[in-house]
Structure 1
Amino acid sequence: MLYAKQTAAAKRAAFRERLASGELLRFPGAFNPLSARLIEQRGFDGVYVSGAVLSADLGLPDIGLTTLTEVAGRTKQIARMTELPTLVDVDTGFGEPMNVARTVQELEDAGAGGIHIEDQVNPKRCGHLDGKEVVDDETAIKRIRAAVDARRDPNLLIMARTDARGVVGLDGAIDRMKALVDAGADAIFPEAMATLDEFAAVRASVDVPILANMTEFGKSELFTVSQLRDVGVNIVIWPVSLLRLAMGAALRGLDGLDTAGSLKGLTGQMQHRADLYELIDYQGYNAFDSGIFNFDVSRPTDG
């Protein structure tokens, strides 16, 4: 009932332990707290909060328009609703190194299990679009050092994302990754890898966990979990997939409503009321109410 039973610190410690085991962890992207609860119910390992999803949810393009306040607020809503760790996209950290430091502490307070900070020039753009620019080595390193120095819980995962593959090629991107690990990054997010061999090359080059981004309609082929596990990937995210599925279903529903004047023919594709009530633990709230209010008020006797 209400929120997660574990504290954020406990979830972070458990996340670190599982990541250290070497197993591959699956993190679908949640577009709201309810979808985070569904991800947990279906047996996944963690929840991802995508900057692209938050931007789209606000009706904005993914070009760095969201604010730290918006990202921290959505993170808190999602992280508190699940027992799973939450990995959060914080773009370029919302400013200079001191802003990055504040970002880390705000996200830590919001309950994040980990964050990733990228090396694009601000304002950034979607990692799977052409025309990206990355900052120089010194600026990228300062962002990661600021993040590592600012965290108060050593179990908060600081992940460095690099978009250098699409700008300077794989070899240059690997050099950037090594520098970011030396700066203190706990994990690496190599964005827009083109092949499994490229993931394997990253794995051979750094000794920290690596993440694969399996976003649809992008630069990377949609590899399977088994394929990624075989080349040494430790975390897989599907950042926008649930939002895309939900919006596709919403579009078909609206078209059906416009055409037929009723959604009767689509009820079989909807989440049933009973399933929704189970997901939000409606019965738990009823039991709580009964325990609190299950008493009689009788008129006091004289004397």
Structure 2
Amino acid sequence: MLHTTTTPAVRRRAFRDGLAADGLLRLPGAPNPLAARMIAEAGFEGVYVSGAVVSADLALPDVGLTTLSEVAARTTQITRVTDLPVLVDADTGFGEPLSAARTVQVLEDAGAAGCHLEDQENPKRCGHLAGKVVRPVEDMVRTLRAAVGARRDPDFVVCARTDAAAVEGLDAAIDRARAYVDAGADMVFAEAVSGPADIARFRAGIDVPLLVNMTEFGRSELVSATQLADLGVDVVIYPVTLFRLAMGAVADGLRALAAEGTQAGLVDRMQTREQLYEVLDYDAYAAFDDSVADFRGA
């Protein structure tokens, strides 16, 4: 009830242990804290805070318009309610290397288990759209060194995302990833790789945990979790899946409500009151309130 029962340090250690173990860590993107609770109940290994979702939730395109404060606030809301480790999309670090260093510390304070920083030029674009421009390797290396040097908890995971595969080719992206690992990155995020063959090449090219993105409507083939595990992938994110499902349902519901003048035909597609209260742990709140209200001091 109320808050997670684990500390950020415990969740960071759990994330590190998961990365060191065999098997795939699956992190759906949580569009809100309630979804984070549902992700845990469904048996996933972690929660992802997507920059694209934070932007879209604010009715903004994913072009670097959100701020560190907005991302950190959403992260704090989500880490409050889940015992799972939370990985955060920190875009390009919200500025130059000094800003990236501050970003790491702010996200540590927000309870995150780690974050990823990307090598796009500002203004950044969604990783699966055309028109991306990547920064010089040496600029990204400076950013990563600043980020790694700023963290206070050594278990906080700093992941380097490279968008170079779609811009410079896969070999260049792997070369960049190696330079980022040399700069101190704990994990590499290979963005917009096309399919299993490219994932296998990337996996063979680095010796740290590998993260891939199974987003819909993008450049990457949607590969099953079983196949990703067989390829040696350590972490898979599904950043916008739940948001797209929810907003698709919102659009359908609005059309039906406008056309029919009632939501009666939609009720069987809704989360029930009982199901919502179960996720919220409503009974525990009521029991706690009763215990306080009935308290009699000596």
If the length of structure 2 is used for normalisation, what is the TM-score?
Answer: 0.98
| CA distances 1:83-142 after superposition (whole Å, capped 9, x unpaired) | 000000000001111100000000000000110000000110000001100000110101
The change in CA–CA distance for 1:259 and 1:16 in structure 2 (over 3 A counts) is same
Distance 1:294 1:134 in 2: 62
Instruction: Please tell me the residue identity of whatever aligns with 1:202.
Output: F
1:229 matched to which residue of 2? Answer: 229
2:140 matched to which residue of 1? Answer: 140
Note if 1:77 corresponds to 2:65: no
Distance 2:199 2:91 in 1: 22
Instruction: Please tell me the residue identity of whatever aligns with 1:181.
Output: V
Distance 1:207 1:47 in 2: 24
2:22 matched to which residue of 1? Answer: 22
TM-aligned CA deviation for residue 295 of structure 1:
4.4
| CA distances 1:187-228 after superposition (whole Å, capped 9, x unpaired) | 000000002011111111111110110000000011100111
Distance 2:186 2:295 in 1: 54
2:178 matched to which residue of 1? Answer: 178
TM-aligned CA deviation for residue 296 of structure 1:
6.7
Distance 2:58 2:129 in 1: 20
2:42 matched to which residue of 1? Answer: 42
Give aligned pairs, total: 297
Instruction: Please tell me the residue identity of whatever aligns with 1:224.
Output: S
TM-aligned CA deviation for residue 23 of structure 1:
1.4
Distance 1:161 1:193 in 2: 12
After superposition, residues 1-303 of structure 1 pair within 5 angstroms as 1-295=1-295
1:301 matched to which residue of 2? Answer: none
Q: Secondary structure at the match of 2:189?
A: strand
Distance 1:46 1:236 in 2: 10
Distance 1:86 1:226 in 2: 22
TM-aligned CA deviation for residue 181 of structure 1:
0.5
1:300 matched to which residue of 2? Answer: none
| CA distances 1:11-57 after superposition (whole Å, capped 9, x unpaired) | 11111111110210000000011111110111111000000000000
Instruction: Please tell me the residue identity of whatever aligns with 1:174.
Output: I
Q: Secondary structure at the match of 2:139?
A: helix
Distance 1:290 1:25 in 2: 40
| CA distances 1:232-252 after superposition (whole Å, capped 9, x unpaired) | 101111100100000000111
Distance 1:199 1:22 in 2: 17
The CA RMSD over aligned residues, in Å, is: 1.0
Query: Where does the alignment leave 5 or more consecutive residues of structure 1 unmatched?
Result: 298-303
Q: Secondary structure at the match of 2:212?
A: strand
Query: Where does the alignment leave 5 or more consecutive residues of structure 2 unmatched?
Result: none
| CA distances 1:250-299 after superposition (whole Å, capped 9, x unpaired) | 111111111111111111110000010010100110111111111479xx
Q: Secondary structure at the match of 1:265?
A: helix
TM-aligned CA deviation for residue 81 of structure 1:
0.9
| CA distances 1:58-86 after superposition (whole Å, capped 9, x unpaired) | 00000000001101111000111100000
| CA distances 1:116-169 after superposition (whole Å, capped 9, x unpaired) | 000000110000001100000110101111110000000001000000001110
The change in CA–CA distance for 1:296 and 1:149 in structure 2 (over 3 A counts) is closer
The change in CA–CA distance for 1:261 and 1:192 in structure 2 (over 3 A counts) is same
**Percent of aligned positions with the same letter in both sequences?**
59
Distance 1:43 1:295 in 2: 37
Greater gyration radius: 1
Distance 1:22 1:41 in 2: 22
Distance 1:296 1:210 in 2: 56
Distance 1:57 1:18 in 2: 30
